[in-house]
Amino acid sequence: MWDLAPKKELHEIIENAHKDDPIHSVALSNNGKYMATGCINSIRLWDFKNKSIIFEFVKIHDDVISSLVFSFDNSFLLSASHDKSIKLWDVIYKDCIYVFHKTHDDPVIGVTLSSKDDFIVSYT
């Protein structure tokens, strides 16, 4: 992770928190308040300014979390996984609110949202 203004590398803060569970995906909220990191089967939600973990969703996918994206209003987070599913998370209540089961025949590599949060696009 880099701070672009002073061009200062910040990655060690995150690496130390994921020693036994490497990061496979990362997303920043549009308001700069949150960062999410995806690992094998967990997502950590961070307070981006303080670089501290707010919450951890554990054992939520059966394989690598390959892609994360926040909704435009930052209240939701989408996760895509090699387990072929996509999940929609409520960031405020910290709960899964919908599972798109076996959306593809192959591992889901990426997912994104339209600018109005009315369409999801995923790919393998």
State residue 8 phi and psi, 5-degree precision: -105, 130
Q: Which residue has the higher pLDDT, 109 or 41?
A: 109
**Phi-psi map region of 56: left, alpha, beta (phi>0 left; psi -120 to 50 alpha):** beta
Q: Which residue has the higher pLDDT, 73 or 3?
A: 73
pTM summary value: 0.84
Q: Could you tell me how many residues make up the chain?
A: 124
State pLDDT tens for residues 43-97: 999 998 888 899 998 888 888 999 999 999 999 999 999 999 999 999 999 999 9
